[in-house]
């Protein structure tokens, strides 16, 4: 394992637990609205968390691959929200409950030439795929092989506040085999 991605809605309590791991953070809607709840000495660091991480063929962000270009980090996003007053769900749509957001996410993946998008936000582990023949389906794990010509949205679940049972949830991504493993850790 060469990196850990934390996709937002972390909150102040678990932050220190991750300090000893090579974690790359993105901010979520919780950090945007609740930055003042983090320790004052950590707020500048958190305010600089980026909106997205990218790799070869993949993208990761809190809610959607579509985000205003000027919202490069948490500070810029707070500024954007103060100036433009978007609806909350415009910036942070649910890829479980908003069909338009799902199709827009698939379109953005295709536009960027990426195969997979990892997101948090819903706190639910779920995999949605658009096949090359334009067929939409939900995939079940635990191990999912990503088809080279399909577009895939992966909800990573939640370690701190899962909304799909009591198991702590995350995913493992093998970017050489192009496989996603859905992990659930029971108490």
Tens of each residue's pLDDT in the chain, 187 residues: 678 999 998 878 788 888 888 999 999 999 999 999 999 999 999 999 999 999 999 999 999 999 999 999 999 999 999 999 999 999 999 999 999 999 999 999 999 999 999 999 988 899 999 999 999 999 998 999 999 999 999 999 887 776 777 778 889 999 999 999 999 887 6
pLDDT of the residue at 187: 63
Smallest CA-to-CA distance from 132 within 118, 146, 117 is with 146
Name the CATH superfamily for 4-185: Metallo-dependent phosphatases (3.60.21.10)
Domain boundaries, the chain: 4-185
Token output for 59: 């993208």
The predicted structure's pLDDT at residue 185? 84
Instruction: Give the pLDDT of residue 1.
Output: 67
User: How many Å apart are CA 28 and CA 127, to the nearest integer?
Assistant: 20
pLDDT confidence of residue 18: 85
For 97-100, the CB contacts below 8 A with 24+ separation are 97/122
């Amino acid at each position: 394992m060469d990196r850990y991605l934390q996709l937002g809605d972390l909150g102040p309590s678990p932050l220190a637990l991750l300090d000893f791991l090579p974690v790359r953070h993105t901010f979520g809607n919780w950090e945007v609205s609740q930055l003042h709840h983090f320790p004052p000495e950590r707020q500048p660091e958190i305010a600089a968390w980026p909106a997205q991480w990218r790799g070869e063929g993949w993208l990761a962000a809190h809610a959607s691959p579509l985000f205003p270009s000027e919202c490069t980090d948490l500070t810029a996003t707070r500024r954007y929200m103060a100036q433009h007053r978007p609806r909350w769900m415009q910036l942070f749509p649910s890829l479980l409950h908003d069909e338009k957001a799902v199709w827009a996410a698939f379109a953005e993946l295709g536009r960027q030439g990426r195969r997979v998008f990892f997101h948090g936000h819903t706190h639910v582990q779920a995999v949605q795929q658009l096949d090359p023949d334009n067929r939409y389906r939900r995939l079940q794990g635990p191990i999912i092989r990503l088809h080279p010509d399909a577009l895939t949205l992966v909800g990573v679940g939640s370690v701190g506040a899962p909304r799909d049972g009591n198991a702590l949830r995350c995913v493992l991504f093998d970017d050489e085999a192009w496989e996603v493993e859905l992990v659930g850790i029971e108490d």
